Amino acid sequence: MNMTTRILAPLALLLCLPAIAASPKSKDTPSVTQLLAESKPEEWRRPDPENLLVMRLSSGPVVMELDPAYAPLHVSNIKTLVRERYFDGVAIVRVQDDFVVQWDDPAAVDGGDPHKLRSLGSAQATLPPEFTRRIAISLPWVRLPDGDVYAPEVGFTEDFPAARDPAANETWLVHCYGTLAIGRNDPQDSGNGSELYVVIGQSPRRLDRNLTVVGRVVEGMAELATLPRGEGQMGFYAHPKDQVPILDIRVAADLPSAQRPNIEILRTDSRTFQRILEAARDRHDAFYARPPGKVDICAVPVPVRDVSKP
């Protein structure tokens, strides 16, 4: 292939912890790196730049993929806010260890000046919750057969981790590491996308079906996960000066093509992804004493690669 690839998320799947990696034997379960190296170009999907957000922090960019099939109203409202420059100059106001990074209008949080609230412009101030949606034949479903503590069924839809309750005819995106969702106040329609959070710890699955998930971070998670933890209650930064400024957020489609994220996402209905799941479930190599036999929905991040021309 006439391009270089840099593998991003799949490093988290390299299971061994040797100080110096041993060379694999031929009959061993292949590593994720090996499996990805053997993948075919058509197993990768280039995300629609209309569904990609690029957030710039001074430390680097964070790229998020939105899923309008699961939260059409919220995705649309966020894009309105982005295009009307609502987020340019807002800040990360909360970083709670093992939980979430959250950004919001600094005037909306404790210590802010409520008289300086930003205008939502032409975006909606309230929206019907999109905590779940109906199951539809148009939605792909790659079921994980290993069970789940919280949901009747789990799997992948449109390459996002998700769950289903066939009896209730409901499906929803789940909270895993990197999940992007809508903060809100008590009223269920009080979220509008101006306040967003990303999971940076153990998957808080209790939030499933209680908040509107709109997508996930596909590049730059480390920029968020390494931020200093807030010392106020619930991880809010205690002082406005501690807040982390967001330089701007853009829809990738609005950027010059040279500035768009150049990434591909492994299709979860591909043979390579199935092999990765199988390797996580029943790994056989010199390291593993006891393959787990199962895999949790949040234990296998969907691989993303940065595809740059040489």
Number of residues binding to a copy of itself, judged by CB under 8 A:
74
H-only helix segments in the chain: 32-37, 72-83, 221-225, 271-281
- The residue among 201, 174, 156 whose CA lies nearest residue 302 is 156
Widest CA span of the chain, in angstroms? 66
Near a copy of itself by CB under 8 A: residue from 90, 91, 244, 280: 280
Near a copy of itself by CB under 8 A: residue from 30, 155, 183, 215: 183
Nearest approach, Cβ of residue 162 and a copy of itself (Å)? 16
Site for a copy of itself in 104-133 (CB under 8 A): 104, 108-110, 129, 131
Which residue, 49 or 291, is less far from a copy of itself as judged by CB?
A: 291
Asked whether the beta carbons of 71 and 213 are under 8 A apart, the reply is: yes
Contact map string, positions 130 to 169, toward a copy of itself, x by CB under 8 A: -x--------------xxxxx-------------------
Site for a copy of itself in 184-243 (CB under 8 A): 184-186, 188, 195, 197, 201-211, 221-222, 225-229, 233-235
Site for a copy of itself in 82-101 (CB under 8 A): 96-100
- In this structure, what are the phi and psi dihedrals at residue 149, rounded to the nearest 5 degrees? -75, -35
Q: Which stretch binds a copy of itself (CB under 8 A): 71-79, 238-246, 253-261, 291-299?
A: 291-299
CA-to-CA distance for 230 and 248, rounded, in angstroms?
22
Could you say whether residue 11 binds a copy of itself (CB under 8 A)?
yes
Asked whether the beta carbons of 201 and 177 are under 8 A apart, the reply is: yes
